Chain A
């Protein structure tokens, strides 16, 4: 029998490659990503290694000097502390409150629909607009809130945004109020995916409302909870708009976040090298926190 071994016959003809037009279709996206995302990221890493001032003819290479300065910069550590407190408080508050509200509004009735809309409404509004509105409401001289407290007999209403001890908690409360509707909607959608027969089975086993919530609802909501926690954490670490509009980072830096400090260094003092170093430290923190959250969630899934 004649061998059909292809290697023993005539030299194999290399298949002709045809240009795939799909490359041209993705080209615009690739170009946009390269120009507006990849290149700026690499550029910022490069700038963080230089004493880089906008417009300066001479931007000397300084290695890790910007990072070393950051390590000794008390204002950066203060900004990091403010950001960490805000992120932790807003994430816990937003997810906890969102879960509670979603549980209460799970059944669809006309008033629960109305309340869902009401809770979701602040999320639609611009963060800057929300900040400005709350700044007016909380103004100790012309604001409604202190005026109402005065009417209720409070002789010295709190200086919500002027006090170094109250400004950050106030911003946190507004941050939770702004985003709790988003968490509620995501968790509500997750709850409505839980099969009703799971609850029926649990009831047949004698589980009460709290047991059904912890044994059925919460495990089923794990992906949604992970998603909302991750989003709340990343958004919290990127805190800027709200403090910019409400306090400008004051008083006495008590609400100055890392991004706010980055803005000050980069776009007010034009120290782009230093600002880039801040951006990279923040990026690494966000990456690390997100990785830890994902790892914890996966471990629990494995349980």
Chain B
């Protein structure tokens, strides 16, 4: 073979490699969406990777069976992954048709700001096939309504209740679960066991980072708060300072809870029978039962400000520039309808995201407990576009400082200044 032909073949080979390399960089982003055989394919990205994923999948399966012209494919990835992928995916129009952007309801503002989320107003109504937002809990409806437009529906709804270990209560001679803040504090102290300066059992398991928030409930019980409806800080109000002082002293001096726990650490402490009480949501119940805990659940004890607990909801949104927004809205209408929500409650143990199913839940004590707390529940930093920054940059570090002995008045004053700067509150 001549040198020329060898060179020619090598040139062709190199050109082919270059072409293949270029073409390989031009694939799709792995999102399957479109129509096939008259069936509209919708993709839904969620962060439900926990034990509750099966409940969501069951709902999606039922929708697909009852809607032969639409097929929804739900995928679940860790929340951090969803948060990294979704903004760019929706901004470039290549993302999933439906998504739960974060477990933080405040995350919807990031997508509204970038015009990535579809306003759902045209699909809202009380008729068949419409999203009945009037049935949502009012805190959820207002949190997902921005400038008069509804941008998300609740993918789930949860409230926090007090979990307690009945065996530990019995061993401490406590006959009933606490119903008032005074009983709560007394029980937490009594259930804390230490010897030689080392705590072997904590009365309460509190988390301060990477967790569903527990500390705001302790503030709300006594009339404290973090931010008012105008976006101005109230974390330094007299009631807040009093509540934070009381509970931080219980942690620092009475050692009722370890400090610096992440949410997972707090759960581990309770499930390993090293803590007698924990404030948590419905997702935790099955795990604690499996861990062999003689589990009791009651509503969060009532403080001087009346009954209160924290509500949690995950927003479910539609991509604004997606090709099948009408079908996506149809899915949301079905998903938030009575039949689907009732079924979801029955299989997941979560309360329904509607307020008009009370009597239908009476057979399930656990669901009824969480649902009954809904009327007293508040969302954490609801409706604030800056909620993510306030949480990570201000509130969590403030609680961590207070737990480590910082002066409550000065820590809350500093936090209030930062919050007002973020929200633009002038007062």
List residues of chain A with CB under 8 Å of any chain B CB.
19, 21, 24-25, 27-28, 31-32, 35, 53-57, 75, 139-142, 150, 155-156, 159, 161-164, 248, 250-253, 264, 267-270
B11: chain A residues at CB < 8 Å are 19, 21, 24
Instruction: Looking at the assembled complex, report how far the CB atom of A139 sits from the nearest CB atom of chain B, in whole angstroms.
Output: 7
B272: chain A residues at CB < 8 Å are 141-142
9-residue interface stretch from B35-43, B131-139, B157-165, B388-396:
B388-396
Q: Is the CB of A55 within 8 A of B198?
A: no
9-residue interface stretch from B107-115, B285-293, B338-346, B357-365:
B107-115
Q: Is the CB of B87 within 8 A of A139?
A: no
- The interface bits of chain B over 346-369 (1 if a CB of A lies within 8 angstroms of the residue's CB, else 0) are 000000000000000000000000
Q: Is the CB of B14 within 8 A of A141?
A: no
In the assembly, what is the distance between CA of A162 and CA of B84, in Å? Answer: 27
Q: Is the CB of B83 within 8 A of A267?
A: yes
Q: Is the CB of A162 within 8 A of B7?
A: no
In the assembly, what is the distance between CA of A162 and CA of B198, in Å? Answer: 17
B265: chain A residues at CB < 8 Å are 139, 141
Q: Is the CB of B404 within 8 A of A164?
A: yes
A21: chain B residues at CB < 8 Å are 7, 10-11, 14
- Indicate whether A250 sits within 8 Å of B209 (C-beta atoms), given known contacts A25-B14, A56-B113, A156-B198: yes
In the assembly, what is the distance between CA of A31 and CA of B25, in Å? Answer: 10
Q: Is the CB of A55 within 8 A of B87?
A: yes
The B contact surface, by secondary structure, is helix
Considering only CB atoms and an 8 Å cut-off, how many residues of chain B contact the other chain?
46
9-residue interface stretch from B16-24, B166-174, B303-311, B376-384:
B16-24
Instruction: Looking at the assembled complex, report how far the CB atom of B194 sits from the nearest CB atom of chain A, in whole angstroms.
Output: 10
Q: Which residue of A lies closest to B210 (CB)?
A: A248
Q: Is the CB of A248 within 8 A of B15?
A: no
Q: Which residue of A lies closest to B10 (CB)?
A: A21
B residues 392-413 touching A (CB-CB < 8 Å) = 392-393, 396-397, 400-401, 404
In the assembly, what is the distance between CA of A273 and CA of B209, in Å? Answer: 27
Q: Which residue of B lies closest to A56 (CB)?
A: B114
- The interface bits of chain B over 162-206 (1 if a CB of A lies within 8 angstroms of the residue's CB, else 0) are 000000000000000000000000000000000011100000000
B34 at the A interface (CB under 8 A): no
A270: chain B residues at CB < 8 Å are 87, 110, 114
B268: chain A residues at CB < 8 Å are 141-142
> What are the 9 tightest A-B residue pairs by CB atom distance, in nearest-first order?
A55-B91, A162-B260, A24-B14, A55-B114, A155-B197, A54-B87, A28-B21, A21-B11, A27-B18
B312 at the A interface (CB under 8 A): no
Q: Is the CB of A162 within 8 A of B259?
A: yes
Q: Is the CB of B209 within 8 A of A53?
A: no
Q: Is the CB of B88 within 8 A of A54?
A: yes
- The interface bits of chain B over 90-125 (1 if a CB of A lies within 8 angstroms of the residue's CB, else 0) are 110000000000000000001101111000000000
Q: Give me 22 A-to-B residue pairs in the complex whose CB atoms sit less than 8 angstroms apart, sorted by A's number.
A: A24-B15, A28-B18, A35-B25, A53-B113, A54-B114, A55-B87, A55-B91, A55-B111, A55-B115, A56-B115, A57-B114, A139-B265, A141-B268, A141-B269, A142-B268, A162-B258, A162-B260, A164-B404, A252-B397, A268-B388, A269-B388, A270-B114
- The interface bits of chain B over 200-238 (1 if a CB of A lies within 8 angstroms of the residue's CB, else 0) are 000000000110000000000000000000000000000
Instruction: Looking at the assembled complex, report how far the CB atom of B321 sits from the nearest CB atom of chain A, in whole angstroms.
Output: 11
B274 at the A interface (CB under 8 A): yes
In the assembly, what is the distance between CA of A270 and CA of B90, in Å? Answer: 13
Partner of B389, one of A161, A164, A269: A269
B274: chain A residues at CB < 8 Å are 141-142
B25: chain A residues at CB < 8 Å are 31, 35
In the assembly, what is the distance between CA of A161 and CA of B269, in Å? Answer: 16
- Indicate whether A32 sits within 8 Å of B21 (C-beta atoms), given known contacts A56-B113, A56-B114, A268-B83: yes
Q: Is the CB of B21 within 8 A of A31?
A: yes
Instruction: Looking at the assembled complex, report how far the CB atom of B8 sits from the nearest CB atom of chain A, in whole angstroms.
Output: 9
Instruction: Looking at the assembled complex, report how far the CB atom of B84 sits from the nearest CB atom of chain A, in whole angstroms.
Output: 5
Q: Is the CB of B259 within 8 A of A55?
A: no
B269: chain A residues at CB < 8 Å are 141-142
Q: Is the CB of A150 within 8 A of B14?
A: no
Instruction: Looking at the assembled complex, report how far the CB atom of B341 sits from the nearest CB atom of chain A, in whole angstroms.
Output: 31
A31: chain B residues at CB < 8 Å are 18, 21-22, 25
Partner of B393, one of A25, A57, A75, A251: A75
Instruction: Looking at the assembled complex, report how far the CB atom of A36 sits from the nearest CB atom of chain B, in whole angstroms.
Output: 9
In the assembly, what is the distance between CA of A297 and CA of B400, in Å? Answer: 44
- The interface bits of chain B over 58-98 (1 if a CB of A lies within 8 angstroms of the residue's CB, else 0) are 00000000000000000000000001100110110000000
